[in-house]
Amino acid sequence: MNEHPIIFIDADEDDHDMFKQVLSELALPHPVLVFANGQTALDYLKTTPDIPFLIISEMSMPGMSGLELRQQIDRDPGLRKKCIPFVFMTHPVEERAVEEAYELTIQGLFEKKATYAAWKAQLAAIIAYWTECHHPKRITQ
């Protein structure tokens, strides 16, 4: 159980490629796992003993949306116990969706940036925050 992957969930394959490229350039110690919808991510989360470092999800996707995924994680005692940081990166950002997302105890909601450089800076800031943040599943004795 040494893996602490960063999980990215989005139906857009171009975003998958961009996310992988950004994380490769940031040279992080975390493996990257990409899923096209909430259901495949949930299946992985329910079957792995690993505790992901961070989940970054699009809100609206075909099948199980990011909002529905977050609801399922909250309903599952085993997944809740893993205390996985969960943020949304989505476009467009709508007021109603922001309110609904924060009712689900997410840790952040970001609008996807329009350029590669801005997206890279945004992801670097999000990951830097979670790298420095004290977290119940990452406390070393």
pLDDT tens-digit series, residues 7-48: 999 998 888 898 989 988 998 889 999 999 999 999 999 999
Residue at 93 is within a domain: yes
| Number of compact structural domains in the chain | 1
Structural domain of residue 93, as residue ranges? 6-132
The CATH number for 18's domain is: 3.40.50.2300
DSSP label at residue 89? E
Residue at 138 is within a domain: no
To which residue do tokens 């004290």 refer? 134
Residue at 66 is within a domain: yes
Question: What tokens does 8 get?
Answer: 């990215």
Residue at 55 is within a domain: yes
- Please provide the DSSP assignment of 60-74 as one string: --SSS-HHHHHHHHH
Residue at 75 is within a domain: yes
pLDDT tens-digit series, residues 59-111: 989 999 999 999 999 999 999 999 999 999 988 888 888 898 988 889 999 99
